[in-house]
Structure 1
């Protein structure tokens, strides 16, 4: 949202020490890298990535934006972040330098923008609290052949990758299509999420068309803007929870999968890789993948666990999620950040 750009004003006018809890940096080093390499992404459209002039213009804009964003963040006396991914990027931003722009700010027209920073160079991880009380009550046994996705229908969530991975699963392992003429014994992909506007609605329509084009529409179900009790009902039945977003900064839906006893199959990046779907007591709590093919194989691996292995993984995942991402852990991390020592300083 760019709130960091208010830090200088608050600090100067109120002489108030600044602290922040960052969920997602407004700009990150990988955003610059994608523009520089002209890679198409949801933050770098085809119109820009295919144009040399537009790419150079956007890179210049990002360079200036990054410079001021870094200076703004360094105004803070303490920073907390919600995951390893966010910490890595925020730390890189805090340590970012641009000698040319530094020299430019020594000139009279820009001299007034030159500020003295507190010199902060790193942030502290404090995982957000996840209310898993209702999900933790769900049974771990007798799950249906349902692959679940819980996420808003936003472009970065990459639901298309889930449909493609599901098609790969059915192609590589036809047994999941079911044996009966009525489709009995077949697997389902259930995409449950919020649609905020016409763009999201069009995205859902596009996903329906994709499922039809891939020949899996009979196995894919869309549930849009469902109330919370309906989501709990589906999570109580699902066997697997899928998340295909690249560089998910945290992944609260993955925590919810695990607390609900749903085995997570997630993209091998961001918070799901580094912080959430990690070994617990030396044993796995889920699966990671990157491509439709590797997602399909991870889904197959989860679906073919022995009953004992299946139940053990669900228990581990639930125990880890409830233990690590509780409100108590959040409060402990928050107080450990040392924010209290700044309450009466610089005033």
Structure 2
């Protein structure tokens, strides 16, 4: 291409970018005006506030993940701190209060002794990402507004507590008179997401087709910044903002226009029973565990690839034999048909990698079975990039299972941190990795390490895990929300 042709090409590209910018800014202005009109129209139709009611927005409260553990511990904390308050939960239609209470006990070992009220939601499909193949973030945000309005049309509580991260309905609850409390697990949009789009990095939420196109990248950046502005404005109406990790706190401080700094309240991990498991266990069969819901961001494929890589690299020695004979047990929850399809795809992938005899799948296991499985494991895998916290990593550590976690966000900043031993020296509490090769190396090290070294790491990990107990959460969460609870 000649210099003149090259110059014409770049001029054409810049003209296209400017045109896209003008169109996008005009569209944003029109959407803002329409949204303002819609907000006041919809908010004025909400019913009167009900005094003495604390309502939790958690549409999938019957799920089996870490977010649901936070929900039930928060419910218990509110009932203990404000005994006269009526607790309600906005949850998908078809789920009963009795089912939820029984589920909290069987899955999380959390006893809810006082009655709760269920507010059924028919349109939970509005926040399912699978429904929106394009403009997922914006359409999910709008869907969360629709779902939030469905909830508030049935009940406007004195205190509205969101434990899911959907901030976009907050202004409606605030306008109707509720005091809004947010417990943020993961920012809906973060500066990391914006950075990946800006740098042209292809990820699960930034297609290669967009990453390779300057025009499409510019449009997506404008789109993300518009949603980020909306997100930040919604955050400004909260009376109390709690976050689950240092990483989340840093992002919320940058994204939300809050008058008060977010309060760091580590999520509750049932460490009390896990800490009772013996460290010096009889290891008849070496195995690793992976405790994660079967969701795409958990990146189970990387775990399978790393495990297969470790086995292929095992030598002819006794240590190599230990790696070849080791098993990997996946323990996870399936929420719906998409999760089950994802699980079946992972099972097929394990067969393709030659792991069919070395991998087990345990789905929707109760706490009692989880405890038994953790009690016999030597290592635990975690591979999610930018995991906001990582409850499963803490569970590994509390149970004396050596964690092998992704080197980012919560695990790196808060959890898998060195502790001081009795002599004042730093003792590692686990391993961090990013690539399949790094994970495979850590897997091999954990499976082949001397028993005394494993016990030292496991003991240090248990000490670190005590920072994230249920008792600590109840104490910190109560202190955070006490000023806004019904009198």
TM-score class, shorter? 0.7 to 0.9
The residue number in structure 1 matching 2:312 is 171
Which position in structure 2 is the counterpart of 1:253?
A: 392
Q: 1:50 to 1:193 in 2, by over 3 A?
A: farther
Matched residue, 2:365: 226
Counterpart residue number, 1:98: none
* Alignment match, 1:112: none
Counterpart for residue 6 of structure 1: 169
CA deviation digits over 1:183-210, x for unaligned, max 9?
9971111122122333222322322232
Gaps of 5+ in 1: 96-117
CA distance in 1, matches of 2:318, 2:299: 24
User: Residue 119 of structure 1 aligns with which residue?
Assistant: 259
Question: In 2 relative to 1, CA 47–155 (structure 1 residues): closer, same or farther, beyond 3 Å?
Answer: farther
> How far apart are the structure 1 equivalents of 2:242 and 2:186?
11
Mark the CA change 1:309 to 1:72 in structure 2 (over 3 Å): closer, same or farther. Answer: same
Distance 2:447 2:320 in 1: 17
In the alignment, which of 310, 313, 323 is matched to residue 457 of structure 2? 313
Partner residue, 2:187: 25
Q: Which of these residues, 234, 250, 255, is aligned with residue 93 of structure 1?
A: 255
Aligned-CA RMSD value: 2.9
Q: SS of 2:272's equivalent?
A: coil
Distance 2:336 2:209 in 1: 23
Q: Cα offset for 1:8?
A: 2.9
Following superposition, the deviation at residue 243 of structure 1 comes to 0.3
Query: Which has the greater radius of gyration?
Result: 2
Contact 2:319 2:448 in 1 (8 A): no
Query: Relative to structure 1, is the Cα distance of residues 51 and 202 closer, same or farther in structure 2, using a 3 angstrom cutoff?
Result: farther
2:448 is the counterpart of 1:304: yes
TM-score, with normalisation over the residues of structure 1? 0.81
Whole-angstrom distance in 2 between the partners of 1:184 and 1:12? 59
* Deviation of the 1:86 alpha carbon: 0.7
Q: Partner residue of 1:237?
A: 376
| Structure 2 match to 1:331 | 474
Task: Note the alpha carbon deviations across 1:18-76, whole angstroms, 9 max, x for none.
Answer: 44221122221222223333433233345654666654443332221110111121233
Alignment of 1:73-152 (within 5 A): 73-94=235-256, 119-120=259-260, 122-140=261-279, 141-143=281-283, 144-152=285-293
Match of 2:437 in 1: 293
| Alignment correspondent of 1:67 | 229
| Distance in 1, Cα, partners of 2:367 & 2:318 | 29
1:7 touches 1:75 (CA, 8 Å); kept in 2? yes
Superposed CA deviations along residues 222-267 of structure 1, whole A, max 9, x for unmatched, are 2233333332222121110010111111111111111111110101
Cα distance change, pair 54–184 in 1 and its aligned pair in 2 (3 A): closer
What secondary structure is seen at the aligned counterpart in 1 of 2:275?
A: helix
Count, aligned residues: 317
Q: Per the alignment, in what secondary structure is the counterpart of residue 5 of structure 1?
A: coil
Distance of 1:195 and 1:78 partners within structure 2: 32
Which has the bigger relative contact order, CA under 8 A and spacing at least 6? 1
Whether the 8 Å CA contact 1:273–1:288 is kept in 2: the answer is: yes
- Normalising by structure 2, what TM-score? 0.59
1 CA distance for matches of 2:388 and 2:429?
19
